[in-house]
Each structure stands twice: as structure tokens, then as C-alpha cells.
Amino acid sequence: MGVVTDIRGRRRAAKLAGTVPYAETGGPLDGRETAVPRGNTERGGSGTVSLFWRIFSLNAAGLVVAAALLLGPVTVSTPVRPGEAAAVVVGLASLLAANALVLRFGLAPLQRLGLAMATADLLRPGARAAVAGPAETAALITTYNTMLDRLEAERATGAARALSAQERERHRVARELHDEVGQTLTAVLLQLKRVADRVPDELREDVHQAQEATRAGLDEIRRIARRLRPGVLDELGLPSALRSLAAEFTTHGLTVRHHVPGDLPRLTQESELVIYRVAQEGLTNTARHAAADRAEVLLRPVTDGVELLVRDNGKGLGGALEGSGISGMRERALLIGATLCLQPAPGQGTEIRLRVPAAPGKTR
């Protein structure tokens, strides 16, 4: 608001492309592989000469030409004649221009690398700097790309552990709220009912208000427990859970329509939980920040998966920075290999699209 491939196939493809998996070079990648160029590391990805030899060869050529002219028939008079001064100035300017061109083209890949580093976002993986330029620059860019692969793998692993621990903690807190606090409030409500039958008439209204407050607190505890761990998702499946979620967010000021068909492609348990959490976070943002009166939740099958759409007619994103809720949605999407897109809705409002790959198998 992962796709696992055969490692042997990847190695064959890497050999055909002239690369080797990074894992074969001894680098830890936590199960992921990154292709690095084969061959001599003194040359760039396009077989160019190193920046050192470019500058050295150019300067050497200039000095050799200058020495040959001085040792040959060319002389410099004292005082210097205008023609001789012009020849020296032209030669010096040519040497400086050649040096400038060599440095300009040699350092351009470093500028592109700096831009790629400044715009890198681990929540939007896949962007890599193009390996180009002299050997030193190409080696630096290759090292940066390899480091980015490892950072993305480590972040994905860490995020998976954190979100798994978060779901376990949600489950524990929801169970304790339901079993401990809920039962305690239920006992209080029953006790108040017995007290209400014995108190004088002038206190009966106060006891009745206490009963209503206790009953409202008990309903709120149950609602919080359902949001922490949606039991309907485990018991009745994703379509019923999304319909229940839409009904839960339909209040006096917000109407949530839903369209969730029953014949969906087969999804993993993790994918269903991510879809539910993204829909929940999207509707929460709509209810709290969008100032909308209409929203809709759509889940539909697409090629090789399903697509979740959460849309409202509120005030839109408005250039606001992404908060922890949206970042959490992006991290959840990365865990299952899904793509998340936030954009303005047609007309007005915000639109969240989550495309989730289907699990191997047939539809439900």
C-alpha cells in the first residue's frame, strides 16, 4: 500500500555467458549467487585497458614527441619567436586536451556508480550499476554489485526472521487477550449482572452503565485479538478473511466494497498471510489518514498468480514520505517474491496493487 531455480541450470547459463557464480569464488551469499566476469581482472568488462595505462601511455607519447622535436631540427630561439611560441602552446594544449578526454571517459563510469549508490534501495531490489569503463572501475562496480546482492540476501533473511517472530508474538498476545483478559472481563460482566439484581433502584442505572462499559471493553478486546491474529484466515481461508476484513472496516463514515472470487490459484500459507496483512494495512491507512468515504478490496487471478487491489477516494499520497506501515508492506512483499505498487487512484485517492506469484499446482 522467490523463485527457486536449479543451481545446475544457473551454472550452465553462467558458463554460456562467460561468468561464474560468485559462490564458486568462495563468497558467502546465503544461498544466492551472483555472476562475476571470468578472466583477467586487470581488464574491464568490455576488454578495455586500465586507466593507469591510458594516462601513462598518453603522457609518454607526448614526452617522446617533445624529446624527438628538441633533438631534431626543431629549435627554440632566444628570445622565443612568435611561431615557435605558437607551436609550443598548440602542443601543450593538445596534450592537456587528450588528458582531459581520457580522464573524462575513464571517470564517467564512477559518476554513474555514485548515482547508483545514492539511489539504491533494498526495498526495491534488482537495480544494478552497469559494469563498464577501465579495469579498475569495472572491478569496483562488480564488487559493488556483489556487495548489493549480499546485502539484499541478508536483509531478506533478517526481515523474514523478524516478521516470523512478529507473527508469533501477535499470535501469543492475541491468545492471551482472548484467554486471560477476555475471560476476566466476561467474569466481571457476569458479576455485575448479579449485582444489578440486588442493588437499590437508585444505583441500578450506574451498574447498568458499568455493564455497558465492560461489554464495550470486551468487544474491543475481541476486535484487537482478531486483528492481531485473524482466526478466520486459518479456519475459512483467504476469501472469507478478506470479506470479513472489509465488513470490519465498514463504519458510519466509510463504506468498503469487496470482490473476492472463490476460484483463486493455489497460494502458499505465507502468501495468503501477506495478502491479508497488506489489505489490512491499506484499509487502516484509508480509515486513519485518507479522509475517504469509499474504499474497495479486489482480489483477482492474473497470469501466474493473483493481484490484490486496495483503492480509496481519499486525499491521496500528496508527496508524503513512506512510513513504517508502507515499508512493512514492501518487506512482506519481498519475502514471497511479490511486487507492490503504490500510485494515485483514477480520479482521486490512493491505489495499492500487490501481485503475488501462485504456488505450484492447480487452482483451489
76-80, 183-187, 199-203, 221-225: least confidently modelled range = 76-80
Is the pLDDT at 22 greater than 50? The verdict is no
Per DSSP, the residues of 259-314 read: E--S------HHHHHHHHHHHHHHHHHIIIII--SEEEEEEEEETTEEEEEEEE-S
Quick one: pLDDT band at residue 304, thresholds 50, 70, 90? confident
**Does 27 have pLDDT greater than 70?**
no
Check residue 2 and report its DSSP letter.
-
| Distance in angstroms (rounded) separating the CA atoms of residues 97 and 95 | 6
38 falls in which pLDDT band (50, 70, 90)? Answer: very low
| DSSP code at position 24 | G
- Residue 219 is placed in which grid cell? 468487544
Cα–Cα dist 208/354, whole Å: 47
CATH topology of domain 230-364: Heat Shock Protein 90 (3.30.565)
Q: What are phi and psi of 89, to 5 degrees?
A: -65, -40
pLDDT band at 361 (very low <50, low <70, confident <90, very high): low
Q: Which residue has the higher pLDDT, 14 or 65?
A: 65
Statement: residue 309 has pLDDT above 90: yes
Return the exposure string of 80-119: e unless at least 16 CB atoms fall within 10 Å of the residue's CB, then b: eeeeeeeeeeeeeeebeeeeeebeeebeebbeebeebeee
What is the mean predicted confidence (pLDDT) over 320-341? 83
- Mean pLDDT (whole number) for 18-45: 39
Return the residue matching grid coordinates 475471560. Answer: 183
User: How far is residue 79's CA from residue 94's CA, in Å, rounded to a whole number?
Assistant: 24
pLDDT band at 318 (very low <50, low <70, confident <90, very high): confident
pLDDT at 30: 41
Residue 196: what pLDDT? Answer: 82
pLDDT category of residue 352 using cuts at 50, 70 and 90:
very high
Residue 73 has pLDDT above 70, yes or no: no
Percent of the chain clearing pLDDT 70 (strictly above): 82
Q: How confident is the model at residue 26 (pLDDT cuts 50, 70, 90)?
A: very low
Q: List the one residue out of 309, 319, 232 whose CA is nearest residue 275.
A: 309
Q: 331 pLDDT exceeds 80?
A: yes
The tens digit of pLDDT for each residue in 201-246 reads 888 888 888 888 988 888 888 888 877 777 778 788 888 889 988 9
Listing DSSP states for 213-262 in one string gives HHHHHHHHHHHHHHHHS-HHHHHH-HHHHHHHHHHHH--SS-EEEEE--S
**Extents of the domains making up the chain:** 12-159, 230-364
Mean predicted confidence (pLDDT) in 118-123: 77
pLDDT category at 76 given cuts 50, 70, 90 is low
User: Nearest CA to 353 among 315, 312, 303, 310?
Assistant: 310
For the residues 70-88, what does the mean pLDDT come to?
72
What pLDDT does 39 receive?
A: 38
Query: Around Cβ 148, how many Cβ atoms within 10 Å?
Result: 20
Sheet containing 339-344: which strands, arranged edge to edge? Answer: 255-259, 294-302, 305-312, 350-357, 339-344
* pLDDT at residue 72, rounded to an integer: 66
Distance between CA atoms of residues 125 and 57, nearest Å? 40
Q: Tell me the pLDDT of the chain averaged across its residues.
A: 77
Q: Is the pLDDT of residue 316 over 70?
A: yes
Choose the weakest-confidence range: 276-285, 311-320, 351-360.
311-320
CB-CB contact of 299 with 275 (8 Å): yes
- DSSP letters for 105-120: HHHHHHHHHHHHHHH-
Helices (H) and strands (E) in the chain, counts: 10, 7
Per-residue pLDDT for 315 more than 90? no
pLDDT for res 29 = 38
Assess contact for 350 and 342: CB atoms under 8 A: yes
- What is the pLDDT, as a whole number, of residue 62? 77
Q: What average pLDDT does the segment 190-208 reach?
A: 84
Q: 275: pLDDT confidence band, cut at 50, 70 and 90?
A: very high
